[in-house]
Structure 1
Amino acid sequence: MLKYDEELFLRLVEEEGLAYREQIENFVDEICKKGYSNIFLIGAGGTIAMMYPYEYILKSNSTIEVQAEIAAEFMVMNNKRFSKDSVCIFTSVSGTTEETVAAAKLCKERGATTIALVAEPNTPLTQVVDYCITTGSETHSFDTFFMLLYMLVFRFMYNNNEFPQYEQFTNEVALLPKAILNSVKAFDAKAEEFASKHKDTDYHMMVGSGNLWGNTYSYAMCILEEMQWIHAKSIHAAEFFHGTLELVVEDTSVILLKGEDETRPLMDRVERFAEKITKQLTVIDTKDFEMEGISEEFRNHFSVSINWALLSRISVHLERERNHPLTLRRYYRQMAY
């Protein structure tokens, strides 16, 4: 497959990613023993989008109070629910994202407990927080972060007496990398077909819901807009029929990201509408992919990782078809703003 090193993926995500389980359990147990009032999931751009699935999972499966906040807004809003008893979780690939580092410093200064997942070692974010896991590689960093966040969030739920299946769940997290790899192999031809078909498409609507809303928001913003300079709009399925539907015509590219949580009927409704109007409908459905060894009750959570890996294959094929490197930027980190 184009630019896909299976051995490297399994080493980084399966072997090294899973090696952090004990460390995560130890510091989450320590935090829970000390006590806390709520959890803040804080990021910027792709990393705040990465937090939205876990905010959804906690809201729909736990009584733990949780808020996902954009770092720059969090800094200025004077959130009255934030206190020294809050737990603040950050992710950053580079460890240098200005807004994220500033938010972490603020949280630490005000006495909150801070946790970070960072790819690059010895970077500003790693030096600010109380607890840090440094994966050591930017390659497949989002895949690894997703797995670490599963273990992190569900450990908090387990310690809150809300998730007795934790041991089984975490054992199945260990099966996820191979499920991702098999799904990528099964999808790659379709990813290439999409990229070839849409290399000159100048506008996409991306629709998602539930724990896939973060992926929807992230892919439209970070990949299509930032990395490919393609106009895109992320639309929540629950809001699609409040405005956006009027822009769908026969040649509108509509991409539906279907997962397996409680919000799937919202996506079904959009699909029924879109297939009547546009000839450019793309449906990426995690139900189409086998997750060997993973229980039916956990598939809905793991859809986040499967979906992101599938989208990543579209990215590399778009990069080739459009002769537009994913690393190319006009402004981001190219100038002061």
Structure 2
Amino acid sequence: MFDIDLDQPKQIVSDVLSNHKITSVAFVGCGASMSELYPAKYFLANNTKTLNVQIFTANEFNYDTPAWLDEHTFVLTCSLGGGTPETVEANKTAKAAGALVVALTHVPGSALTKGVDHVIVHGFEANYAAKAEKVGYALAVALEILQQVEGYDHYDDMIEGFSKVFEVAENAAQSVGKVAEDWAQEHKDDECIYFIASGASEKVAYSTSMFLMMEMQWINSGNYNSGEFFHGPFELTDDKHNFVLFMADGKTRPMDARVLTFLQRFDARCLVIDAKDFGLSGAVPASVATYFNPIVHTAAMRVFAEHLADLRQHPLTKRRYMWKLEY
């Protein structure tokens, strides 16, 4: 079964800390890559007692560079193809300030890998779980930073989680085919789809909305944190609007359950992609399951997106502007 090499993040962090004191961590990327760094940022920010942890879209990092960026900053940049201009520039911004830079990409030798301190190359094509390999490596880097800087009581549980979660994710993706086909048939002509999630999976809702729907399907979409849903967006709830709820198996599940109860109360059209249904906390230690939700949600949602694209006769690779003109 598919897995990631945990020794690489461990060694990279060890090498960095051997001659640098790290006080800040910056996760930097654009679009889907930025959102796939979010689970790592969420985990590290919520568990550290000493580190300043932030996430940036790359050009904001370049144009409004944080004052604390210096030789004590660990920067993780990310780009699937390794050629995103803003993120390549972010490497230069970070290095100019003396920061340590690790690049995470699918393409060895790409522009993102030039002039940085370390490179991690992730997979993508092997299976559905591999679509979340980028998320996994970023989370593993965050884990090692936490463990090696200040220690983490649930470190061994996280390591065990990494050994199990990709199998859970792949099994989840393989199990949803009929449900995904039916959902796609029902919603292929929808003009708008909303996505809701909480905790580490918040940016799964964001990336599904922004990229799988708006970029790849040209479907209008919105995305909301489960807690924020009740501070505005819930006014749209009725039997005509279409929602997808990523339910967490972990600490923030009560937030998602509150949303589901409200959607059902008003007969909203709602698809629930529930990590608990796929046995996440039965395979991954319950103490850390909350941080592995995005890997399962990402793998499963990809199947729904593929069925939607097929029925709409609109391939996920189709673009109107991206890669076709200067912008």
Q: TM class by shorter-chain length? A: over 0.9
More divergent stretch after superposition (97-106 vs 259-268): 259-268
Instruction: Write the mapping of 1:129-148 to structure 2, written as runs, cut at 5 A.
Output: 129-135=116-122, 142-148=131-137
2:5 aligned with 1:25: no
Alpha-carbon distance in 1 for matches of 2:123, 2:283: 29
With the length of structure 2 as denominator, give the TM-score of the two structures: 0.93
Alpha-carbon distance in 2 for matches of 1:265, 1:176: 22
C-alpha RMSD of matched pairs (Å): 1.8
Alpha-carbon distance in 1 for matches of 2:222, 2:46: 26
Change (3 A) 1:136 1:286: closer
> Please, which of 65, 85, 89 is the counterpart of residue 78 of structure 1?
65
1:329 is paired with a residue whose SS is: coil
Shift of 1:229: 0.6
2:313 aligned with 1:323: yes
Change (3 A) 1:167 1:296: closer
Q: Is the 8 A contact 2:124 2:132 kept in 1?
A: no
Identify unmatched segments of 5+ residues in structure 2. Answer: none
Q: Is the 8 A contact 2:247 2:253 kept in 1?
A: yes
Change (3 A) 1:138 1:116: farther
1:284 is paired with a residue whose SS is: strand
Instruction: Write the mapping of 1:14-93 to structure 2, written as runs, cut at 5 A.
Output: 14=3, 17-18=4-5, 21-33=6-18, 34-63=20-49, 64-93=51-80
Q: What is the aligned partner in structure 2 of residue 108 from structure 1?
A: 95
Q: What is the aligned partner in structure 2 of residue 202 from structure 1?
A: 191
Change (3 A) 1:243 1:168: closer
Q: What is the aligned partner in structure 1 of residue 81 from structure 2?
A: 94
Instruction: Write the mapping of 1:1-337 to structure 2, written as runs, cut at 5 A.
Output: 10=1, 13-14=2-3, 17-18=4-5, 21-33=6-18, 34-63=20-49, 64-135=51-122, 142-291=131-280, 293-337=283-327
Q: Is the 8 A contact 1:118 1:133 kept in 2?
A: yes
Superimposed CA distance per residue, residues 139-158 of structure 1 (whole angstroms, 9 cap, x where no aligned partner): 66542112212321111111
- One-letter amino acid of the structure 1 residue matched with residue 106 of structure 2: A
Q: Is the 8 A contact 2:124 2:131 kept in 1?
A: no
- One-letter amino acid of the structure 2 residue matched with residue 335 of structure 1: L
2:287 is paired with a residue whose SS is: helix
Alpha-carbon distance in 2 for matches of 1:187, 1:200: 21
Shift of 1:161: 3.2
Alignment: residue pair count: 322
Shift of 1:174: 2.0
Alpha-carbon distance in 1 for matches of 2:160, 2:98: 34
Alpha-carbon distance in 2 for matches of 1:135, 1:240: 34
More divergent stretch after superposition (191-200 vs 260-269): 260-269
Alpha-carbon distance in 1 for matches of 2:258, 2:165: 29
Shift of 1:172: 3.3
> Between the two proteins, what is the percent identity of the paired residues?
27
With the length of structure 1 as denominator, give the TM-score of the two structures: 0.90
Shift of 1:315: 1.3
Change (3 A) 1:310 1:242: same
